[in-house]
Amino acid sequence: MPQIVDLTGRVALVTGGSRGIGAAIVQALAEAGANVAINYRSAAADADAAAAKVRAIGRKALAVAADVSEASAVAKLVRTVQDGLGPIDILVNNAGIALIRGIDDLTEADFDRTIAVNLKSVFLCTQAVLPHMREQHWGRIVNISSGAARGAGGVGLHYNASKAGMEGMTRGYAARLVKEGITVNAVAPSLIETDMVRAGVAATPSRIPLGRFGTPEEVAMVVMMLVGNAYMTGQTVALSGGMAFS
């Protein structure tokens, strides 16, 4: 029984792929054989470094700047990837922002921007890649959610809403695409050791039963499991170091 996902010849797009969880997913996809497009908004040097790591193991890579909350930018992004690598077979919606706000500090602009980047982008990117996936009757879409979709979280209610919406969209797409060879799943990490977590959400892992932060590579492992499993769709896999039962 094969234990490693073989993605030779496949093209993957990872939004927000320049750092942290996104960069770990990019590397895992490349190690499985995929050619990878790395979307970023402003971290060009990080995206170029991630692309260089992909090329170092013999895969093709493309770093593409785009604000995936804007329809025109997404359309241009997908065209650029198709021209440079080929049609997109695998989409990982990882782009997101986490503006830490309390109820009394949250503005309408904060709310709208969070929903646009964390939720609307999933719709825009998914719609853009579906024609090819439907034509070939094969596709994998993985959305990076958060434990905040079901818990209080430390960012704010706007973030909760964006991630809960993402998981609802995951189920909605999965149900409607299940006959077309396309799976749609989500991963919901909590307190992964990234700049965002260390900078404001949790300075220490004291509230994690396992006793440590998760790693971006551990999130990438779950993503790869979902990409490789044709029978799993419409699911959200929690990755929380035991917080779900603490």
Catalytic residues: 159
Strands 61-65 and 35-40: parallel
Identity of residue 72 = S
Residue among 2, 35, 1, 5 at smallest CA distance from 223:
5
List all residues 6 or more positions away from 81 whose beta carbon is below 8 Å from its beta carbon: 11, 13, 37, 62, 64, 88
What distance in Å separates the CA atoms of residue 62 and residue 142, rounded to the nearest whole number?
20
